[in-house]
Chains A and B, each alone.
Chain A
Amino acid sequence: QKEVEQNSGPLSVPEGAIASLNCTYSDRVSQSFFWYRQYSGKSPELIMSIYSNGDKEDGRFTAQLNKASQYVSLLIRDSQPSDSATYLCAVIGGSNYKLTFGKGTLLTVNP
Chain B
Amino acid sequence: EAGVAQSPRYKIIEKRQSVAFWCNPISGHATLYWYQQILGQGPKLLIQFQNNGVVDDSQLPKDRFSAERLKGVDSTLKIQPAKLEDSAVYLCASSPSGGVTETQYFGPGTRLLVL
Contact residues of A with B, CB < 8 Å? Answer: 4, 8, 31-32, 34, 42-46, 49, 51, 88, 90, 92, 96-104
B42:A90 contact, CB within 8 angstroms: yes
Smallest beta-carbon distance B23→chain A, Å: 12
**Which segment, of B60-68, B75-83, B96-104, faces chain A?**
B96-104
A44:B56 contact, CB within 8 angstroms: no
5 A/B residue pairs, CB under 8 Å, sorted by A: A8-B40, A42-B108, A98-B45, A101-B42, A103-B42
Residue B49 interfacial (CB < 8 Å): no
> Which one, A34, A96, A103, contacts B41 given CB within 8 A?
A103
In this complex, which of A8, A43, A97 has the most chain B Cβ atoms within 10 angstroms of its Cβ?
A43
Classify the interface of chain B: helix, strand, loop or mixed: loop
Residue of A nearest to B40 (CB): A103
Residue B48 interfacial (CB < 8 Å): yes
**Bound: A99/B44 CA distance, A:** 9
Residues of chain A contacted by B106 (CB below 8 angstroms) = 43-45
B91:A43 contact, CB within 8 angstroms: yes
Residues of chain A contacted by B48 (CB below 8 angstroms) = 98
A46:B103 contact, CB within 8 angstroms: yes
Residue B109 interfacial (CB < 8 Å): yes
Residue of A nearest to B56 (CB): A98
> Which one, A4, A43, A97, A102, contacts B100 given CB within 8 A?
A97
Residue B72 interfacial (CB < 8 Å): no
B103:A101 contact, CB within 8 angstroms: no
Smallest beta-carbon distance A102→chain B, Å: 5
Smallest beta-carbon distance A72→chain B, Å: 14
A43:B109 contact, CB within 8 angstroms: yes
Interface residues of B in 35-91 (CB under 8 A from A): 40-45, 48, 56, 58, 91
